[in-house]
Amino acid sequence: MKIYTTLIRRKITVNQAKRALVLLLAFMSPLQYFTLAQEQPNIIFLMTDDQRWDNMGCYGKPEFNTPNIDKLAEEGVIFDRAYYAVAICMPSRVTMMTGRFNSNHKVGFVAPQDYTLSQSDFQKSYPAILKNAGYRTGFIGKFGFTVTEKPTRPSMPKDRDYKKYMGNVFDFFAGSDSYDRKDFVIWPENDQELHDIYKLGRENSGRTKRTGEAMLRFIDTQPKEQPFCLSVSFYAVKHDNNKDVYMPDFKQFKEKEMSVPENWVAGENENLPEVVQENARGVYLHKQRSSTPELYQKLVRRFATQGYSVDEQVGLLMAKLKDNGMLENTIIIYTSDNGRFQGSHGLFDKCLLYEESVKAPLIVYDGRVDNSKQGFREDALISSVDMAPTILSLAGFKAPESMQGQDFSGILNKTQDKSQWRDAVFMEDLFLVDMFKERYEDNVDDINAKLIQSNKSYRSHGIRTDRFKYIVYYEHSPKIEELYDLEKDPLEQNNLANNPEFSKILVQLRQQTENMYQAALN
């Protein structure tokens, strides 16, 4: 396949390329032919928005009713310790596409990490690299960040030109920043069926099913002789208004009693760091949206509905791939862009480095691999920064030096020496809601400096090891530290930072976190 696409890129005709390939295959052994045919798999990267890691059956919550995702996990590899390098949508999406930490790529909602992604940096993302290697590439759904010729501020410009800066990367595009009913962009322009899916005023089945229809359209228009990489970013399960929820799917959850996390807190949580209690967005959103049993049930039922709608699209995708004879050479990756508290710790939002926010669902299904070699749970520590280098590796390509993540394909096929795998993942939270409110001001750096000086910053970074979680609010004076023994305290209820029995562990993790932070910067 690589040889064939190379011939095409050299601008010979398709017929000439086919004749050359036939001659080449005639001199190949059956084993060489098999290797060539299997050389480059199709890759589908499925991402939801704000889907908490445990809000599906395969992660222990059957009441969410996700049979197709559960089957994908049963037949693939499901990761129990996957983590976001940053747990908020814009920087998280850039991290997964580029394989770089937030502090490195500097794309985020607030100053000083409030830049757009440059076109040259986007050319080092996994879709761009695969496009240049001969893959047909597509993107559907919420893109979530802006590409410009050079890095510019703010990161959320009012005018975006997707086609100008990404038209050379994606052959197929149907997406927008946040909603599929606003500022939506589609190409190829001559694909009328694709345009009809998003036709204004069309009576259809909601945003998740529109995304699913576009996904199936991409598969139906895929040339058989070319590998593809399709990135699908569902708008679900974020937002819970009627216009965002497919209400027929809501019927099954309308009266269902959803389980409540043991660390759910009614009202305020006085155990949170004071700077978080007084300043973080998740505190007041919890009061408004998830601080009573009634509010919690109302909210989670709607999130479950949207998760079910996504699950249906996963089932349709698997059926389509099978019908089109593509499933046996396709890799499917399922994850989300960040988690959500849903009342745990007395919080609603994400960002902060507690498990409900930073722990990720991650399932990898490889149609090329015999079922006997898949179907297992994996406890290796995986970071979202690993996504891009792993996708490239699965396609047979080496990641560029700009990528900071690790290739975990050896974990998938069990060739990785686990004793040589990482012993910690690095995470950071650079979002401040007070800065978000001022994001379009000219003097954002001065505003940021004053916020830090007034001791209102709750920016943090930390690490998760096999057993412990360490968090430091490094811009606060004095610094605030949290230490949790996740083996004995998975719900992070007992901060051990001031416990003398753990002083050596604290010093060790403090230094390890600083070392990993410095590495993330470079």
**Distance in angstroms (rounded) separating the CA atoms of residues 394 and 407:** 9
> Which two structure tokens, joined as six digits, stand for 9?
């890129």
Q: What is the structure's pLDDT at 204?
A: 64
Q: What is the structure's pLDDT at 24?
A: 41
Please count the other Cβ atoms lying within 10 Å of the Cβ belonging to residue 183: 14
Question: Residue 200 corresponds to which amino acid?
Answer: L
pTM above 0.75, yes or no: yes
77-83 and 382-383 strand pairing? parallel
Residue 194 Cα distances to 162, 215, 216, 260, 473, angstroms: 17, 10, 10, 41, 47
Residue 466 Cα distances to 129, 486, 509, 513, angstroms: 33, 8, 12, 14
Instruction: List all residues 6 or more positions away from 11 whose beta carbon is below 8 Å from its beta carbon.
Output: none
Positions of the chain with pLDDT lower than 70, given as ranges = 1-38, 203-204
**Distance in angstroms (rounded) separating the CA atoms of residues 352 and 358:** 8
Instruction: List all residues 6 or more positions away from 18 whose beta carbon is below 8 Å from its beta carbon.
Output: none
**Distance in angstroms (rounded) separating the CA atoms of residues 307 and 291:** 22
Residue 360 Cα distances to 26, 45, 258, angstroms: 47, 14, 20
Continuous H helices in 251-349: 274-279, 281-289, 293-323
Q: Minimal CA–CA distance to 143: which of 245, 211, 52, 192?
A: 211
Question: Residue 70 corresponds to which amino acid?
Answer: D
The SS3 call for residue 468 is strand
**Distance in angstroms (rounded) separating the CA atoms of residues 14 and 8:** 7
* Number of helical H runs and strand E runs in the chain: 21, 16
**Distance in angstroms (rounded) separating the CA atoms of residues 89 and 102:** 11
379 phi and psi angles, rounded to 5 deg: -110, 10
Strands (E), 301-410: 330-336, 359-366, 376-378, 382-383
**Distance in angstroms (rounded) separating the CA atoms of residues 98 and 228:** 18
Q: What is the structure's pLDDT at 4?
A: 43
> Which two structure tokens, joined as six digits, stand for 239?
């937002």
Q: What is the structure's pLDDT at 179?
A: 80
Q: What is the structure's pLDDT at 426?
A: 98
**Distance in angstroms (rounded) separating the CA atoms of residues 100 and 91:** 10
Q: What is the structure's pLDDT at 17?
A: 46
**Distance in angstroms (rounded) separating the CA atoms of residues 469 and 409:** 25
**Distance in angstroms (rounded) separating the CA atoms of residues 146 and 157:** 8
Q: What is the structure's pLDDT at 158?
A: 82
**Distance in angstroms (rounded) separating the CA atoms of residues 522 and 517:** 9
